[in-house]
């Protein structure tokens, strides 16, 4: 059985072996975050912690799958298979199915994807004879989603003057009615959308203390990946579940918080040290991926953030090529200059198309 701890640098090692109590792992880009998270879980299993008492929450199925494969490589597939590991939505869907009688939903409730939700909203808008050009289904869906992720129910939505005032300013004063009807039809269809999986779990734990206590007792160790991307609903669920044992390890980077448009709250990671005063903090500051030039440029931009957890990210790789900034007057000129740059470097350095990545702001 290989010694996984030898793969770690000093700060990674400390983050892996200090498993008791609240822990905040600040993981800069390319700093070995996934390795630390997976080895920490493997270390718990090596210490004979029951796999079923470990809850590990990720944001993508791919991340959960990769982590489970890495853990299986250390402790074996049988043990890794008993972990409660998956995305927030998959784990809480599992709990809601187990506790379905308390929710009023069938055990085999349907989970709407984004297209299903949008189609139902379209149907509701049509039944109310609202103008789809005014009540655009995508915007209405976004408003309902933001409400659910803030634990705002249809009744609360209609009574919230601030929310309804925004709707009125957008020329859509009846969103509260659409939300109410959408929630009613979803329930009657035995269906939840992705936001419901979080909202209903919060409601379940709030209204059934015995069920909450059952899962608090079960999960003696909780780990959360990409904590900077959690929303208010996810934050509350994690806080409730971790209250008994306080063995909560969150991994993230406040400098990589980019999902506020879909409800992510950077406050969750920034306030962790206040939420858990007896915490330990581990800063993974060495970037193994990028050149010194890239890391230093990123640091210079991030330094201007008004609210942040202080860190000094560094690289021991080569200096790398200078960053080139090109100024263009129009979108067309920008596209032309990018294409020309690619063509020139392909001729000069014999690169293939697959060697280039182009990032752009919107799909519009």
From 204, 319, 253, select the one nearest 36 (Cα to Cα): 253
Q: Say whether domain 110-189 belongs to CATH 1.10.10.
A: yes
- The residue assigned the tokens 């000094």 is 312
Tokens for 166, please give them.
């925004």
Q: For the chain, what's the residue count?
A: 364
Q: Please give the Cα distance from 174 to 168 (Å, whole number).
A: 8
**Helix, strand, or coil (residue 174):** coil
**Residue 158, Cα to own-chain centre: how many angstroms?**
28
| pLDDT tens sequence across 260-302 | 877 889 999 999 999 999 999 999 999 999 999 999 999 999 9
Residue 120 tokens read as 């139902």
What would the pLDDT profile of 40-99 be if each residue is shown by its tens digit?
Answer: 999 999 999 999 999 999 988 998 999 999 898 888 888 888 999 999 999 999 999 999
Pick from 3, 29, 27: which is nearest to 17 by CA? 3
How do residues 51-66 score in pLDDT, each as one tens digit? 999 999 998 899 899 9
Q: Please tell me the predicted confidence (pLDDT) of residue 361.
A: 79
CA pair distance 272, 319, nearest whole angstrom: 35
pLDDT one-digit tens code per residue, 306-322: 889 999 999 999 999 99
Q: Which residues contact 233 (CB under 8 A, 6 or more apart)?
A: 148, 149, 150, 151, 195, 198, 199, 202, 263
Domain ranges, ordered by start, for the chain: 10-96+200-303, 110-189, 324-355
Q: Which class for 96: exposed (0-12), middle (13-18), buried (19 or more C-beta within 10 A)?
A: buried
Residue pair 52/61 in contact by the 8 Å Cβ criterion: no
Beta strand ranges found along 132-225 (DSSP E):
191-193, 221-224
Total Cβ atoms within 10 A of residue 234 = 25
Q: How far is CA 48 from CA 13, 71, 263, 277, in A?
A: 19, 14, 37, 28
Q: Specify the pairing of strand 23-27 against strand 248-252.
A: parallel
Res 364: pLDDT:
62
Q: Are 74 and 51 in contact (CB under 8 A)?
A: no
Q: Is the pLDDT of residue 1 over 60?
A: no
In the numeric block, the tokens 């210079």 are attached to 300
Mean pLDDT for the chain?
94
For 10-96+200-303, which CATH superfamily applies?
A: P-loop containing nucleotide triphosphate hydrolases (3.40.50.300)
**How far, CA to CA in Å, does 23 sit from each of 20, 79, 177, 273, 287?**
8, 24, 43, 9, 21
Residue 2 has pLDDT above 70, yes or no: no
Q: How many CA atoms are closer than 13 Å to the CA of 184, on its beta-carbon side?
A: 10
Do 83 and 53 contact (CB within 8 A), yes or no? no
What is the pLDDT, as a whole number, of residue 362? Answer: 78
The pLDDT of residue 261 is 75
Q: What is the pLDDT of residue 99?
A: 98
d(CA 192, CA 189): 9
> Can you say whether the dihedral through the CA atoms of 212, 215, 220, 223 is positive or negative?
negative
Is the pLDDT reported for residue 123 higher than 80? yes
In sign, the C-alpha dihedral spanning 100, 207, 238, 179 is: positive
Topology alike, domains 10-96+200-303 and 110-189: no
Give the integer Cα–Cα distance in Å for 42 and 8: 13
Q: Calculate what percentage of the chain has a pLDDT beyond 90.
A: 84
Q: What is the tens place of the pLDDT at every residue in 216-266? A: 999 999 999 999 999 999 999 999 999 999 999 999 999 888 788 778 899
- Can you spell out the DSSP letters for 318-332? ---PPPP----SSHH
DSSP character at residue 228: G
Residue range 333-352: mean pLDDT, rounded: 93
């Amino acid at each position: 059985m290989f010694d996984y701890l030898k793969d770690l640098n000093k700060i990674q090692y400390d983050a892996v072996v200090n498993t008791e109590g609240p822990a905040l792992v600040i993981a800069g880009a390319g700093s070995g975050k996934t390795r630390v998270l997976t080895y920490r879980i493997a270390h718990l299993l090596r210490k004979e912690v029951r796999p079923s008492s470990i809850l590990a929450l990720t944001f993508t199925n791919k991340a959960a799958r990769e982590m489970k494969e890495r853990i299986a490589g250390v402790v074996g597939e049988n043990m890794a298979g008993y972990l409660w590991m998956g995305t927030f939505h998959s784990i809480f869907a599992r709990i809601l199915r187990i506790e379905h009688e308390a929710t009023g939903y069938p055990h085999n409730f349907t989970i709407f994807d984004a297209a299903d939700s949008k189609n139902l909203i379209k149907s509701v808008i049509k039944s109310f004879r609202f103008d789809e050009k005014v009540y655009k289904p995508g915007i209405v869906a976004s408003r309902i989603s933001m409400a659910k992720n803030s634990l705002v129910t249809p009744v609360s939505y209609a009574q919230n003057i601030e929310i309804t005032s925004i709707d009125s300013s957008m020329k859509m004063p009846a969103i509260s009615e659409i939300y109410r009807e959408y929630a009613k039809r979803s329930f009657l269809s035995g269906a939840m959308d992705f936001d419901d999986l979080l909202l209903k779990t919060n409601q379940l734990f709030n209204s059934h203390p015995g069920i909450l206590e059952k899962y608090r007792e079960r999960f003696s160790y909780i780990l959360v990946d990409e904590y900077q991307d959690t929303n208010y609903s996810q934050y509350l669920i994690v806080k409730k579940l971790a209250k008994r044992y306080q063995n909560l390890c969150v991994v993230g980077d406040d400098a990589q918080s980019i999902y506020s448009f879909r409800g992510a709250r950077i406050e969750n990671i920034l306030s962790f040290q206040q939420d858990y005063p007896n915490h330990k903090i581990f800063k993974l500051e060495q970037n193994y991926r990028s050149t010194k030039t890239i890391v230093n440029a990123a640091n210079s931009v991030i330094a201007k953030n008004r609210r942040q957890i202080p860190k000094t990210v560094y690289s021991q790789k080569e200096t790398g090529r200078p960053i080139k900034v090109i100024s263009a007057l129009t979108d067309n000129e920008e596209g032309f200059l990018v294409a020309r740059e690619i063509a020139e470097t392909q001729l000069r350095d014999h690169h293939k198309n697959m060697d280039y990545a182009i990032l752009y702001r919107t799909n519009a």
